[in-house]
């Protein structure tokens, strides 16, 4: 299967994690759902997703004990949801494992064959890569517009195209003055439709 990103000639650039698709009828789903069954485990996973950290730091952020964090980390790691992504040193000089997410995003699929899971995983990776690329181009477009047209102070702040305050459609004036934002929204919409059509075509 040729993915939309591949057909557009874009080159994928890998992030730290990749999407994973879990069949809800498979054994992997039991481990994933069991590992995320408690509020603490879900809060821990969200903390790790936000910023990788060693268990002691995660315990402080969650206002929990290090032993409790270690317990849930063990379950999350066994389910393939988190992994050691590096190391850090404590104030006492002890080396500590730093945990990060092992898969992002995680998608539960019912009755998917291995081929369907592989296809969905690739489409999710394509969508994530595409959104990142569109975001970078959008920032470049907006910075160029701010430089050429006006004096917007933020990256996606309208660049003051010189239209009067009492313009008939002030929201349209602001949208036209933020071409980077328009490009991002339109690009993501087109990419999402392309991915959806690719998925429906399978």
Domain annotation for the chain: domains and CATH numbers: 26-108 (1.10.10.10), 112-200 (no CATH)
Interval 40-85: pLDDT, tens: 999 999 999 899 999 999 999 999 999 999 999 999 998 888 999 9
Interval 135-145: pLDDT, tens: 888 888 888 87
Check residue 59 and give its pLDDT. 94
Nearest to 2 by CA among 88, 107, 98, 119: 119
By the 10 Å C-beta count (0-12 exposed, 13-18 middle, 19+ buried), 1 is classed as: exposed
> pTM here?
0.51
What are 45's two structure tokens? 């996973």
C-alpha distances out from residue 190 to 8, 91, 108, 183, 196, Å? 12, 49, 25, 10, 10
Q: Does 167 have pLDDT greater than 60? A: no
Band of residue 15 on the pLDDT scale cut at 50, 70, 90? very low
């Amino acid at each position: 299967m040729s993915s939309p990103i591949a057909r557009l000639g874009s080159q994928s650039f890998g992030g730290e994690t990749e999407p994973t698709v879990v069949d809800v009828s498979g054994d992997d789903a039991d481990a994933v759902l069991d590992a995320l069954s408690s509020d603490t485990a879900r809060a821990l996973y969200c903390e790790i997703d936000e910023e990788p950290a060693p268990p002691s730091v995660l315990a402080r952020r969650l206002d929990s004990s290090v032993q409790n964090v270690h317990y849930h980390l063990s379950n999350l790691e066994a389910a393939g949801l988190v992994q050691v992504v590096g190391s850090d040193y404590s104030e006492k000089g002890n080396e500590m494992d730093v945990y990060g997410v092992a898969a992002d995003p995680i998608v539960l699929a019912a009755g998917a064959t291995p081929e369907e899971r592989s296809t969905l995983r690739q489409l999710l990776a394509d969508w994530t890569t595409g959104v990142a690329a569109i975001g970078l181009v959008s920032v470049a477009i907006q910075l160029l517009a701010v430089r050429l047209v006006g004096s917007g102070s933020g990256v996606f702040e309208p660049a003051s195209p010189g239209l009067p305050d009492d313009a008939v459609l002030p929201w349209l004036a602001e949208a036209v003055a933020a071409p980077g934002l328009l490009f991002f929204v339109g690009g993501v919409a087109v990419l999402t439709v392309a991915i959806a059509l690719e998925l429906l075509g399978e």
